[in-house]
Amino acid sequence: MTELQALTAPDAAGIEALARDALASLPPEFAGHARDVAIRVAEFAPEDVLDELQIDDPFELTGLYDGIPVTEKSVSDQPEGPDIVWLYRRPLLDEWAARGDVTLGQLVGHVVTHELAHHFGWSDDDIARVDRWWE
């Protein structure tokens, strides 16, 4: 690896690879349902998503679960597409650089796990009770 390559931020495929590593390390009781969730990487969340979440600074959103939690799914539901965990590359890189105390893989793994918790039906308050990552 050249010195320049060592300083290059991972592209979307690199972030997705870190997310796939996080999925592979899930406990068996979660891994099955997690396989049903697609991983997508974008530079930033779209404006309409930021507006809906009332977020002014696009760097504040590192990931988002887009789907119907398994606790709310019904056999009569007509699927509109796969559930998706969105990862936002630039905010992830910005937070990683600002923190300086975790690897990028740890940060991506944490965001993936947080968003999958929504897939399993946990609210932000439920997640906060067991995960103090951002404190």
In what helix (H) or strand (E) does residue 84 lie, and over which residues does it extend?
strand 83-88
Whole-model pTM over 0.85: no
pLDDT, position 68: 82
pLDDT average, residue stretch 87-115: 92
Residue 130, amino acid: V
Q: Give the model's pLDDT for residue 6.
A: 56
Highest CATH level, class, for 20-68+80-130 = alpha beta
- CA–CA distance from 126 to each of 32, 44, 60, 112 (Å)? 21, 26, 20, 16
Rounded Cα distance between 76 and 92, Å, is: 37
CA atoms within 13 A on the CB side of 55: 18
- Range 26-53 average pLDDT: 88
User: What is the strand order of the sheet 83-88 is part of?
Assistant: 37-42, 83-88, 63-66
